[in-house]
Amino acid sequence: MDIRFFDTLDSTNKYCKLLNTDSVEEFTVVWAGNQTAGLGQQGNVWVSEPYKNLTFSLILKPTFLSLSDQWLLSMTLALSVSDCLIEILPNHNIAIKWPNDIYIGNRKVCGILVTNQITNGIISQAICGIGLNINQTRFPDWVPNPTSLAIESGNTYNIKNVLDHLLQSVESRYRQLKNDPYSIKPDYLKRLFRLGIPSPYILQDKRITATITDVDRHGHLLLTTLDGEALNCDIKGIQFVI
């Protein structure tokens, strides 16, 4: 495994995009102590206090995965992070908030962004950005419901040790994805935040109560309203009320 540490980068994701796809090996890790312009879902910025958190991108080459099943990679990474955190914080409620945020209780501790590169109809490379809040204890007021390992436990962590632990979890789940790809989704659903629980959401600027029932093969969230209406939502279509 090739781990490349940088004291400061604007974005580990952007750095990975500049690397030669053919020459860079799978499981190359680009890790920044201080990431000044990290990327989040839907073009959002990932806020991280310098040298307090884990901000890195991992290069994978899941050429064995069909395009129609590419969402399984995102599920695999979410499971990997949740596996790691369950071992670090065994007495906490760790869950995956669709599509791939990691929550402790009702607060977000980790975000994941997967950027797939498609070549000749296959996933030639995936840049998997992970931002995990570790030792940061104060966040800007505008950051919604954040938490960190330090907030939850009262402890201070060695960030490199957490990275090593997390990469071991990724390797284990990635092997599972290769060997039995359709075993990933059932494991993901077992960890899914609010699965089967009637909860509030915002849909098209309207507040509704609905129950998550499943995630389809395209990664869309499936819900049923109190009136029995079935909903199929992409990441831009629904907002969690927390």
Domain range enclosing 160 = 2-190
The verdict on 125 and 220 lying in the same domain is no
Spatial contact of 196 and 211, defined as CB atoms under 8 Å apart: yes
The verdict on 143 and 210 lying in the same domain is no
The verdict on 93 and 180 lying in the same domain is yes
Of the candidates 62, 54, 46, the one whose C-alpha atom is nearest the C-alpha of residue 14 is 46
The verdict on 135 and 170 lying in the same domain is yes
Q: Would you state the structure tokens that stand for residue 117, as one six-digit string?
A: 């590169």
The verdict on 204 and 140 lying in the same domain is no
The verdict on 177 and 70 lying in the same domain is yes
The verdict on 73 and 51 lying in the same domain is yes
What's the CATH number where 231 sits?
2.30.30
The verdict on 148 and 123 lying in the same domain is yes
Q: What is the pLDDT along the chain (242 residues), one digit of tens a residue?
A: 899 999 999 999 999 999 987 889 999 999 999 998 766 555 566 678 899 999 999 999 999 998 889 999 999 999 999 999 999 999 999 999 999 999 999 999 999 999 999 888 889 999 999 999 999 999 988 888 999 999 999 999 999 999 999 999 999 999 999 999 999 999 999 999 999 999 999 998 999 999 999 999 889 999 999 999 999 999 888 999 99
Given 152, 171, 190, which residue is the final one in a domain? 190
Spatial contact of 47 and 37, defined as CB atoms under 8 Å apart: no
The verdict on 177 and 82 lying in the same domain is yes
Spatial contact of 188 and 96, defined as CB atoms under 8 Å apart: yes
| The pLDDT value given to residue 120 | 85
212 dihedral zone (left: phi>0; alpha: psi -120 to 50; beta) = beta
| The pLDDT value given to residue 45 | 64
For the question of whether the overall pTM of this predicted structure is more than 0.75, the answer is yes
What's the CATH number where 109 sits?
3.30.930.10
The verdict on 38 and 154 lying in the same domain is yes
The verdict on 53 and 173 lying in the same domain is yes
The verdict on 21 and 98 lying in the same domain is yes
Spatial contact of 39 and 46, defined as CB atoms under 8 Å apart: yes
| The pLDDT value given to residue 1 | 84
How many domains does the chain fold into? Answer: 2
